[in-house]
Amino acid sequence: MRPAALLVAAATLVVTSACQQPALAAEEVVEAPAAVRTAKEGAGLKTAIFAGGCFWGVEAVFSHTKGVRSAVSGYHGGTERQADYKLVSSGVTDHAEAVKVTYDPRVIRYDQLLRIFFSVVADPTQLNRQGPDRGAHYRSALIPLSAEQSAVARTYLAQLKKAGLWDRPIVTRIERAQAFYPAEAYHQDFAAKNPRHSYIQRWDAPKVAALKRLYPGVYRSEFQRD
């Protein structure tokens, strides 16, 4: 086999082993309440980071959200040397699979992104796991990148805890912003490039469908590619 073919085969092997565990029951969709504190972020594009399990689904949902200009899958919480898929997925690093979202607050506010996140992206009661994926690298976390985002995130988490939408305690954390490292190229826009992948069809396509059903006003049919 020629070197180029070897590289393709290796990448294919990694992709087919990513974010795949034995099938479980479908993830719950919850219509989270509108935030009592709306974000006031001013003009210009803003960026925030979300960790909510396998980054394919997090990226897919936000890439179908109006006002989102970019959704990049990557790693947050560890070092640059640790920012490697094989290392992260082994559970030996401090990284979480995360997505850096760049958005226009004139179209979609940070508090609205939080509502989407808790409604269709991540179950905030699952500790160090999401759906079929287990490990601290699949933890649910908010990583605000401004004082306003941090205040809105704290207020919204407190609001959700009082709302009693889930039977179990909310364990989603707010983490201090550290360096974000983009994931390997084959992870970017993964749901758009691989719509028939078994994991995408089983776990992530339903999240996008739930976004369309619950929040049709902010749903965008086309996938915002980077």
Q: Which of 54, 98, 120, 152 is labelled catalytic? A: 54
Alpha-carbon span 93 to 213, nearest angstrom: 37
Instruction: Specify burial of residue 186 (Cβ count, 10 A radius: 0-12, 13-18, 19+).
Output: middle
In the structure encoding, which two tokens stand for residue 75, read together?
């790693």
Whether residue 19 lies in the annotated active site: no
Confidence (pTM): 0.90
CA separation, residue 93 to residues 76, 78, 137, 168, 205 (Å)? 10, 6, 8, 27, 29
In Å, the largest CA–CA distance within the chain is 59
Total count of residues recorded for the chain: 226
Strands (DSSP E) contained in 127-193 are 129-130, 133-134, 140-143, 173-174, 180-182
Domains of the chain in sequence order: 43-214 (3.30.1060.10)
Q: Specify the amino acid at residue 80.
A: E
Q: What secondary structure does DSSP assign to 180-223, as a single string?
A: EEEPPGGGTTHHHH-TT-HHIIIIIHHHHHHHHHH-TTTB-SS-
Closest CA to 105 of 65, 35, 151, 45: 45
Phi first, then psi: what are they for 129, rounded to 5°? Answer: -170, 165
Closest CA to 153 of 110, 121, 189, 94: 110
Q: What is the pLDDT along the chain (226 residues), one digit of tens a residue?
A: 443 333 333 344 444 445 755 444 557 899 999 999 999 999 999 999 999 999 999 999 999 999 999 999 999 999 999 999 999 999 999 999 999 999 999 999 999 999 999 999 999 999 999 999 999 999 999 999 999 999 999 999 999 999 999 999 999 999 999 999 999 999 999 999 999 999 999 999 999 999 999 999 999 999 999 8
